């Protein structure tokens, strides 16, 4: 039931879109509380103003000097206290923009009132975003994620404390387990790039470090704490080893080593992704790259090359025959190609027995984790670029948006930097702009949104921040945060995020539960733990 917690102040302006309330002395009101006030209109009818507490302050009343506080605490000078809260209005029902009148009772919104305040009542399909500070469910409108009215999620925050990837995986878990996909759930897919550590290699393992309250939090969210049920894990093949073993430290079992064949590399024109550094883009160079790609695609005998280095030698010998270019450009091309080959070469192999087994098949399981954390930046870009392009082309061929594909990619600033151009940035821009209609949903994350291409961030319907650097928080990219939220972004604890979604005019603080899947070896439940050295 909604309960009265205070009254509208008359000592500060009350406006239709924001007002101050005095908090009743016996009531606990905190930031993020959802409140409403109803006023009657002259001539009949009522207007309800719903909002969220975003600033609070307490003061001495009757004190003239700052030092009066000492006298008051010695029992010499009687002073009063006041606690007031500022409310940002989220919704006015019906839409008659009038200020609430001083003296009106303000209620804490619960049940249907809360759903009204946060637009949950008008969300036809919704999924849990997390829990509010007071333990209530916070929903996201799925129509703004699945492409029907909007798509994409962008998450910003300092590495290590902002828990960006954990929140992204929680959102995936919440989406896959909350019936929001309805019948599509079996065919919906997610591709997660594991860019740092090996946290995401255990998504299919239950978390033994789970605390008792985790169970309760999941229950509140309408979820059961379990690991992801359908997971495929791919890791790059080890360098300088003939046997195709995944290059991972903490987990070998159930991890598939991935690589591409030289034939595939040539046929599918992946060459350009070897030149994915932002500074590789000069028109002369890209003309050469395009020429070489075309020539390689025509070449019949590429299957004969044993190693990628052999192919590189062949390319360097032939490049000047495939098209005219200045000697300097050719030299630049060769230099870059050899540098890339050194970093990426082991992922493109001549003779691969059972090549299909080592190709990343993102359609096989619900969630595909592609581990790239051990790779050099160039190789990371190559893998991400190739993967995303292949997936995007697949979706284009399918011609339907449903079932959806989610792509979780951290360090977006590396792949779609604000300045410069690269083939991966092109793919990511494509996903941002056309993914909505093709059913490709990008869940991108980065430390600083200001370093990411504007259009990639701008197309995201959901904007999320974890702990932010204060200097970063004051940038234009975070205008969707209120001043108060911005200040709070600087002190957010791991497990708390501020989420903005299109329908709700103010950003909401949500907390998400401890992962119910393991995020490191030590968290794997004893029962199901497998010997990581079993493969040897």
Partner 1 sequence: MAQIRLTLDPWPAEYESSFEIDGFDEEDHGKVDTDVEGVAWQAIEPPKQERTGVLYFIDGVRRVEARVIVEDGSGRIIRGLYGSAAVGAVRVESKMASFEEIRVKRLIVAGTGIRPEAELLTVGNTQLPFEPISVADTTPLGPIQGLQNLMRTEEAILGEALASKADCVFADGPLTYFSGVMQTTVGVIKRLIEPYLSALQFELVRRLGTGQRTPLFVITRPKYDRYSWYLRVGQPRVMDHDVAGVLRLEVRSGAGIERARELADLSASCIPSFVGEAFRDPRAPQNLLPIGALENKLRHRLGDSLTIRRAIEARLFEVSLA
* The only residue of 31, 77, 376, 403 in contact with partner 1, by rule CB under 8 A: 77
Q: How far is the CB of 76 from partner 1 (least distance, A)?
A: 5
Q: How far is the CB of 123 from partner 1 (least distance, A)?
A: 39
Q: Decide if 440 contacts 147 (C-beta within 8 A).
A: no
Q: How far is the CB of 89 from partner 1 (least distance, A)?
A: 24
Q: How far is the CB of 79 from partner 1 (least distance, A)?
A: 7
Considering only residues 7-66, where is the footprint of partner 1 by CB under 8 A? 62, 64-65
Peptide bond into 403 cis (omega under 30): yes
**If DSSP codes are grouped into helix, strand and coil, which group holds residue 214?**
helix
Piece of the chain touching partner 1 by CB under 8 A; list 77-85, 120-128, 204-212, 276-284: 77-85
72 binds partner 1 (CB under 8 A): yes
Q: How far is the CB of 7 from partner 1 (least distance, A)?
A: 13
535 binds partner 1 (CB under 8 A): no
What is the CA 97 to chain-centroid distance, rounded? 35
Nearer to partner 1, 67 or 483 (CB): 67
Q: How far is the CB of 18 from partner 1 (least distance, A)?
A: 23
CA 495/CA 25 separation, integer angstroms: 31
Please give the full DSSP string across 401-441, using - where no structure is assigned.
-PSPEEEEES-HHHHSBSSS--HHHHHHHHHHHHHHHHTEE
73 binds partner 1 (CB under 8 A): yes
Q: How far is the CB of 73 from partner 1 (least distance, A)?
A: 6
103 binds partner 1 (CB under 8 A): yes
What is the CA 380 to chain-centroid distance, rounded? 18
* The only residue of 24, 71, 487, 521 in contact with partner 1, by rule CB under 8 A: 71
Q: How far is the CB of 439 from partner 1 (least distance, A)?
A: 58
Q: How far is the CB of 26 from partner 1 (least distance, A)?
A: 17
Please give the full DSSP string across 94-157, using - where no structure is assigned.
S----PPPTT-EEEE--THHHHHHTTGGG-SSEEEEEE-TTS-EEEEEGGGTBSSS-EEEEEE-
Considering only residues 206-265, where is the footprint of partner 1 by CB under 8 A? none
CA 386/CA 413 separation, integer angstroms: 18
105 binds partner 1 (CB under 8 A): no
82 binds partner 1 (CB under 8 A): no
Nearer to partner 1, 104 or 498 (CB): 104
- Residue 185's Cβ-count burial label (10 Å; 0-12, 13-18, 19+) is middle
78 binds partner 1 (CB under 8 A): yes
* The only residue of 1, 43, 44, 74 in contact with partner 1, by rule CB under 8 A: 74
* The only residue of 43, 44, 75, 212 in contact with partner 1, by rule CB under 8 A: 75
Please give the full DSSP string across 254-303, using - where no structure is assigned.
TEEEE-EEHHHHHHTT-GGGGG-SGGG--HHHHHHHHHHHHHHHH-SGGG
Strands 231-236 and 189-194: unpaired
Nearer to partner 1, 65 or 536 (CB): 65
Q: Which residues pair with 53 in a beta bridge?
A: 87
Nearer to partner 1, 11 or 283 (CB): 11
Nearer to partner 1, 61 or 419 (CB): 61
Q: Which helix (H) or strand (E) holds 220?
A: helix 212-220
124 binds partner 1 (CB under 8 A): no
* The only residue of 79, 287, 294, 429 in contact with partner 1, by rule CB under 8 A: 79
Tokens of 232: 């495929």
Peptide bond into 94 cis (omega under 30): yes
* The only residue of 45, 80, 160, 303 in contact with partner 1, by rule CB under 8 A: 80
Q: How far is the CB of 124 from partner 1 (least distance, A)?
A: 43
What are the residues binding partner 1 (CB under 8 A)?
A: 62, 64-65, 68, 71-80, 103
């Amino acid at each position: 039931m909604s309960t009265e917690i205070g009254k509208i102040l008359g000592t500060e302006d009350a406006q239709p879109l924001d007002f101050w309330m005095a908090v009743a002395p016996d009531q606990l009101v905190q930031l993020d509380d959802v409140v409403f006030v109803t006023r009657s209109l002259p001539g009949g009818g009522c207007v309800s103003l719903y909002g969220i507490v975003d600033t609070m302050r307490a003061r001495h009343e009757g004190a003239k000097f700052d030092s009066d506080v000492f006298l008051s605490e010695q029992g010499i000078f009687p002073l009063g206290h006041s606690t007031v809260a500022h409310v940002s209005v989220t919704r006015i029902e019906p839409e008659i923009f009038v200020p609430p009148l001083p003296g009106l009772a303000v209620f804490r919104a619960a049940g249907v009132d809360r759903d009204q305040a946060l637009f949950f009542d008008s969300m036809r399909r919704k999924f849990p975003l997390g829990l509010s500070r007071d333990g209530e469910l916070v929903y996201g409108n799925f129509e703004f994620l699945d492409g029907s009215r909007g798509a994409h999620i962008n998450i910003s925050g300092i590495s290590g404390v902002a828990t960006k990837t954990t929140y992204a995986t929680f959102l995936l878990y919440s989406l896959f387990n909350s019936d929001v996909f309805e019948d599509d759930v079996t065919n919906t897919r997610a591709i997660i790039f594991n860019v740092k550590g090996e946290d995401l290699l255990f998504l299919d393992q239950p978390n033994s470090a789970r605390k008792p309250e985790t169970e309760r939090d999941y229950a509140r969210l309408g979820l059961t704490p379990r690991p992801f049920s359908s997971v495929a894990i791919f890791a790059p093949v080890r360098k300088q080893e003939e046997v195709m073993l995944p290059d991972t430290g903490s987990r070998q079992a159930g991890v598939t080593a991935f690589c591409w064949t030289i034939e595939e590399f040539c046929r599918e024109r992946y060459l350009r992704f070897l030149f994915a550094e932002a500074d590789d883009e000069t028109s002369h160079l890209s003309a050469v790259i395009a020429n070489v790609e075309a020539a390689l695609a025509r070449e019949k005998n590429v299957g004969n090359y044993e190693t990628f280095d052999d192919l590189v030698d062949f390319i360097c010998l032939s490049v000047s025959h495939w098209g005219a270019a200045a000697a300097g450009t050719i030299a630049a091309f060769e230099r870059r190609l050899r540098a890339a080959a050194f970093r990426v070469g082991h992922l493109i192999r001549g003779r691969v027995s059972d090549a299909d087994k080592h190709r990343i098949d993102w359609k096989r399981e619900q969630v595909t984790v592609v581990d790239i954390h051990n790779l050099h930046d160039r190789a990371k870009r190559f893998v991400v670029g190739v993967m995303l392009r292949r997936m995007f082309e697949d979706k284009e061929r399918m011609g339907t948006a449903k079932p959806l594909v989610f792509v979780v990619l951290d360090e977006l600033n590396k792949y779609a930097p604000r300045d410069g151009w690269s083939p991966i940035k092109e793919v990511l821009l494509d996903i941002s702009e056309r993914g909505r209609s093709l059913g490709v949903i990008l869940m991108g994350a980065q430390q600083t949104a200001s370093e990411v291409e504007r259009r990639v961030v701008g197309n995201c319907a959901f904007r999320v921040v974890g702990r932010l650097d204060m200097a970063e928080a004051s940038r234009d990219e975070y205008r969707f945060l209120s001043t108060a939220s911005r200040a709070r972004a600087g002190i957010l604890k791991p497990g708390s995020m501020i989420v903005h979604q299109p329908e709700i005019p103010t950003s909401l603080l949500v907390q998400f539960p401890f992962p119910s899947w393991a995020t490191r070896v030590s968290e794997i439940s004893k029962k199901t733990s497998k010997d990581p050295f079993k493969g040897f």
